[in-house]
Amino acid sequence: MLPARAIALARANVAALWLLGATTVANVLAYGYQVVMARLLRPEDYAILTAFFAMLILEQLGGQVVQSATAKLAAQYRAHRDEAALHVFVRRWMRRILVAAGLPAAAVILLAFLVPIPPLSPFAVALLGATLFLAIVLTFTLGLLQGLARFGWFGTVFIAMALVRLVVGVALVLLLSAPGAPMSPVNGAFLGAAAALVVGTLGTLVPLAPLLRAARGAMHEHDLGRAETRFFVLAAVIFMGYAALTFVDGLLSPWLIPSEAGDYAATVTMGKIVLFAPIAVGFLLLERTSRTHALGGDPDRYLFLALGFVLATSGAVAAAYLVAPALFTSLIVGTQYAGAPALIRLYGVAALSNALLSLWIAYFVGRGWMRVGAVIAAGVTAELVLLLAVARDAAAMVQVVLWVSLATHAATVALYAIARWRRVPAGSVRGPAS
């Protein structure tokens, strides 16, 4: 009986299982890219690459505002079978996304040729502008796939992006490492990341083509724009705050601790392994929470299943860093980063705390409990102030990241406990189809 039930459950969730597997493969490829670059580039160049990726990840996680809010609203419309409202939503927000992505991208590209921003080259800054446009558009289309539970395509796009980043990036770094090359090898790594975003954006447009055609000229008797806009703005505070909370240290390290920036970059790279599991799980949790909440159910069981899964998987990695930091540093990034083993023990704990925090955020947004944004904003403010005030070496930076993460996580759990105790969604802002 149990095997039959397990088979039936697997068939009912085959797309979700594919997303978990595909995201795991994509994460392995993405991490392989980081590991290869850590060995191909000099430590000082790898620190610059890490700063570039911190900016790129800030773009993408800032864009996760768009993805998660889009997924939340699309899941609600899908749960209520309100295709007319979905079409109007897609038409209205696709136009807004193109404008919101295009203007700042053009400004960054122009800035690249007017104001030097060392240690990044003008080419790298201009490329950041181009990737900003692609990242924002991609997060909107990914959000539609996520909210509509098109997890098969979602996972396939993730694999394609990771594969292109690895193959193109490594090939260009090797090509530009030759004597007389026209630019630095690190620029080849930047181009690989940009190529991956191009592939991802085009890949999401294929399954969404029928929806985008149906959305042209769509009209609806109810004006939902104000509610949608309010939800997007509040989600922006949450996800951009989380992006800053988890990646601002890697972004600032070349400026705050230049002599230790290479070791810190290697530590950040190792910490990313701990953040792998919540990526796909968070996508699933947000979609299931939004749909269940929209239909009047209680999605808490999805939250606790997600927390248990990530605690078991990411927790095992963090524990390995605690037990044998030198061994895993040597295996993952190599022996040239001598200071990394002393940093990764506590940094792994901080990464685990942030991994679990991401699930709480997905749950809160899925239910429309937006007051968590105040907690995240307070956390990132405290981290920035402390990094600038007391982070004089890599060890101090790790301490700041750890304690801010633990405090923010504890405050988020306390907010959940208060809301459940009252049985009222404190600070709730319902989406237009709630």
pLDDT, tens digit, 9 for 90 and up, residues 44-78:
777 777 666 666 665 555 556 677 778 877 888 88
> Helical H runs in 324-371?
325-332, 340-367
> Does some domain include residue 209?
yes
Number of domains in the chain: 1
- Whole-angstrom CA distances from 35 to 38, 166, 170, 269, 272 are 5, 10, 11, 8, 11
Chain segment 300-351, per-residue pLDDT in tens: 999 999 999 999 999 999 999 999 999 999 888 878 888 999 999 999 999 9
- Report the C-alpha gap between 237 and 205 in whole angstroms: 27
Mean confidence (pLDDT) of the chain:
81
Quote the tokens at residue 329.
């540093």
> Does some domain include residue 427?
no
Q: What is the DSSP string of 97-153?
A: HHHHHHHHHHHHHHHHTTS-BTTB-HHHHHHHHHHHHHHHHHHHHHHHHHHTT-HHH
> Does some domain include residue 6?
no
> Does some domain include residue 433?
no
Q: What is the DSSP string of 178-200?
A: STT-SS-HHHHHHHHHHHHHHHH
The gap from C-alpha 140 to its chain's centroid, in whole angstroms, comes to 13
Query: Would you say the pTM of this structure is higher than 0.75?
Result: no
Closest Cα to residue 329, out of 224, 319, 339?
A: 339
End-to-end CA distance of the chain: 37
What per-residue confidence (pLDDT) applies to 8? Answer: 46
The number of residues in the chain equals 434
> Does some domain include residue 178?
yes
Quote the tokens at residue 169.
């990036």
Chain segment 4-33, per-residue pLDDT in tens: 554 444 444 676 677 777 777 877 787 777
What per-residue confidence (pLDDT) applies to 433? Answer: 41
- What average pLDDT does the segment 167-173 reach? 86
**Residue 5 CB burial class (10 angstroms; 0-12, 13-18, ≥19):** exposed
> Does some domain include residue 221?
yes
Chain segment 350-388, per-residue pLDDT in tens: 999 999 999 999 899 888 888 888 899 999 999 999 999
Q: How many CB atoms within 10 Å of residue 419?
A: 19
- Report the C-alpha gap between 325 and 342 in whole angstroms: 7
What per-residue confidence (pLDDT) applies to 1? Answer: 45
Q: How confident is the model at residue 125 (pLDDT cuts 50, 70, 90)?
A: confident
Q: How confident is the model at residue 428 (pLDDT cuts 50, 70, 90)?
A: very low
Asked if 323 contacts 315 with a C-beta cutoff of 8 angstroms, the reply is no
**Angle between helix 394-422 and helix 372-390 axes, rounded to 10 deg:** 160
Bridge partner list, 117: 120
What per-residue confidence (pLDDT) applies to 340? Answer: 92
pLDDT > 50? residue 258: yes
> Does some domain include residue 429?
no
What per-residue confidence (pLDDT) applies to 65? Answer: 62
426 vs 124 pLDDT, higher one: 124
- Report the C-alpha gap between 96 and 72 in whole angstroms: 18
- What average pLDDT does the segment 231-248 reach? 79
> Does some domain include residue 2?
no
CA dihedral 299, 304, 310, 312 (to 10 degrees): -150
- Report the C-alpha gap between 276 and 26 in whole angstroms: 10
Chain segment 273-302, per-residue pLDDT in tens: 888 767 778 877 887 888 888 788 888 999
Q: Under DSSP, is residue 430 helix (H, G, I), strand (E, B) or coil?
A: coil
Instruction: Write the CB contacts of 100 (distance below 8 Å, at least 6 apart in sequence).
Output: 136
What per-residue confidence (pLDDT) applies to 136? Answer: 81
366 vs 431 pLDDT, higher one: 366
Q: How confident is the model at residue 430 (pLDDT cuts 50, 70, 90)?
A: very low
Per-residue burial over 26-63, b = 16 or more CB atoms within 10 Å of its CB, e = otherwise: bbebbbebbbbbbebbeeebbbbbbbbbbbbbbbbbbb
Asked if 257 contacts 393 with a C-beta cutoff of 8 angstroms, the reply is yes
- Report the C-alpha gap between 28 and 22 in whole angstroms: 10
Q: Whole domain around residue 37: which residue ranges?
A: 12-422
